[in-house]
Amino acid sequence: MSSGKSQNNNPLLSKSFNTPYETVPFESINEEFYMPAFEQAFEEGRREIKLIAENPSSPDFENTIEAIDKAAKLLNRVSNVFFNLNHAETSIRLQEIARKVAPLLSDFDNDITFNQKLFQKVKHVYDMRESLNLSAEQKTLLEKTYLRFFRNGATLGKEQQNKLRNISRELSELTLKFDDNVLAETNSFELHITEEEQLSGLPEPVKESAASEAKSKSKEGWVFTLQAPIYWPFMKYSHNRQLREQMFRAMMSRCLKNNENNNTDILKRIANLRLEKAKLLGYSTHAHLMLEERMAKKPDTVFDFLNRLIEAAKPLAGKEIDEVQKMVYDDGSDFKLQYWDWWYYAEKLKKKLYDFDEEQYRPYFELRKVRKGAFALAARLWGLSFKPTNNIDVYHPDVEVYEVFDEDGSFLSVLYLDFFPRKGKSPGAWMTSYREQEIIEGKNIRPHVSLVFNFPKPSEDNPSLLNFSEFSTFLHEFGHALHGMLSNVSYNTLSGTNVYRDFVELPSQLLENWATEKNFLVMFARHYLTGELLPAELIEKVIELRKFNVAFNTMRQVNYGVIDMAWHSINQTVVESVELFEDKATEPAKLLPEVKGTMISPAFSHIFAGGYSAGYYSYKWAEVLDADAFKAFREKGVFDRDTAKKFRENILSRGGTEDPMLLYKRFRGKEPDVDAMLERDGLK
């Protein structure tokens, strides 16, 4: 459709999409439809909120709490479509719209929480909560609604609320700008090679991907980018130390250079504004504010957890570094190990000790077979089935769509799969939803879930082949998808992955455990040319290798968590340079020599643009949960239907309807223990 057509034809504004399962009609949506859709959605949302606030009836759960939860449906729908595309298939125009809309969304949210009539109604219902006959889910919705108002300034005076409004607006703009800059920096770098000898050591599939990238840019030879499917194999296998250093410095100096994509001032401003907001709301730090609604509850718990991991892992990591350093010397070199050497020589050591090469796994993890394997696992555990369809619109030709059905044949979800890197897609892998599950007037509205990856593209000669890490990533994100697809709750805001940040990684990390289960791998892991099953010795090796350099890898994750907590537990404005701040913060977790001109913070989208502020520790926290949870499967058998049913009923289907520790204890019968993870990983 052309942008000149009447907004009456704007599909974003229809009461429901006239499509299969009311899926998004991507092919009918023009970029110029978004701003008018947002404008009308804001207007409609304000009208709905006003009706709730001015309702003359005595406030109760239904006319206040449920009504707020159901309000602004159009705005939620337009936002879901727009912001998901802004990450998966963005453009200059979409980024411009995002910068306009972000502060408007911030204002809309503030208008709700600053509305004193509305807050008094919420408070009235909250104060009488003990006398109401509410279900566990209704109690949670009531508590979360009250906290939403309290934690966003409802009790502040007018002047403080205006300050908070300005802070929220600026933060919404800055976090978007931060993410845009990371994408621009990632896309701007390329290592163009025209001499074949400089490819020494690189596996054929990596060279093919680089040749394909060069061809797409009308260049001779090979082009290497900072996209994960090209960057990590380059760092592991390239014999050319100078080029490895060039790639490493490019990756670790993103948004640090003296250009328009520099994020150093932006991230400092974000951290300082978050502190100012927390203090306005009566919290000591941003971490105190965020952790109040997480399993950890307070910063001290997180610091104790990270310190325990450092205490367990750092001495062993030192020994691992010594072993890799010895590999450097054995290789005939005399330099001290640097970061751009670590993955290369660690891979050599792995090859020497275990005769292991991760590239050996690629032929057995052809992407279509991996997808089939993940679907088969869901069928084995929960009886799910996945039917491909061409009748649902997609936003890019690479995207696949599946209808997902439960064991009894009832429809569960739509699942979008978006596998390959492209210029308009953010780096990394993630799960998201275009529509979340909820129950409206007795009807169970089923979700539309999307998984987005950056896996190796098929070449002219080969299909997309995954290494073991990429295979694990598929299972990880598929675990998130199951959390969304199997949701069965009443309220949109409590469904699926709308849970505490340090609980949301449990389903995803639990599913990764099947990556080393022989009885699962034999279901699909076959050589893409010969049909030969993944050899038993390769399965044994990957199980054995789970503990290889586990301490170094643990410390790397802890280091990210330490940086996150450092930025978000500041109690006064940061004025020093980002370099100095990060250098001091990471002192307890340092392992290899510092590389001048490189840093983590300026491109750390997880915490400055992705919702993980004061929450990056949750990846390791969830490993404690998943190590303990998988024990339950091991005790009965990794395909045990009763254990799977218990996990579905108490975790996957319950979303954020109750405190996660209660949900976990119902599944497991006890609280998890850090020792479960330490023992599994050989750190105890």
Contacting residues for 96 by C-beta, under 8 A, at least 6 apart: none
Three-state secondary-structure class, residue 433: strand
Give the H/E segment covering residue 598: none
Question: How far apart are alpha carbons 242 and 220 in whole angstroms?
Answer: 21
* Contact indicator for 490, 450 with CB cutoff of 8 Å: no
What is the rounded radius of gyration, in angstroms, for the C-alpha atoms of the chain?
Answer: 25
Q: How far, rounded to the nearest angstrom, does the alpha carbon of residue 338 sit from its chain's CA centroid? A: 29
**Beta bridge mates, 387:** 403
Known catalytic residue at 540 = no
Backbone angles phi, psi at 91, to 5 degrees: -155, 170
The sign of the dihedral angle between the CA atoms of 608, 614, 617, 619 is: negative
448-452 and 411-418 beta bridge pairing: parallel
CA 514 – CA 536 distance, rounded (Å): 15
448-452, strands of its sheet edge to edge: 385-388, 400-405, 411-418, 448-452, 430-435
Nearest to 516 by CA among 548, 559, 480, 481: 548
Q: How far apart are CA 485 and CA 449, in angstroms?
A: 7
Find tokens 């950056």 and name the residue: 454
How far apart CA 118 and CA 20 sit, in angstroms, is 37
**Whole-number Å distance between alpha carbons of 191 and 107:** 43
Q: How far apart are CA 160 and CA 158, in angstroms?
A: 6
Retrieve residue 188's tokens.
């701007």
Q: By CB neighbour count within 10 A (0-12 exposed, 13-18 middle, 19+ buried), where does 349 fall? A: buried
DSSP three-state, residue 582 = helix
User: Of residues 477, 517, 582, 623, which has the active-site annotation?
Assistant: 477
Contact predicate 541/356, CB 8 Å: yes
Active site residues: 477
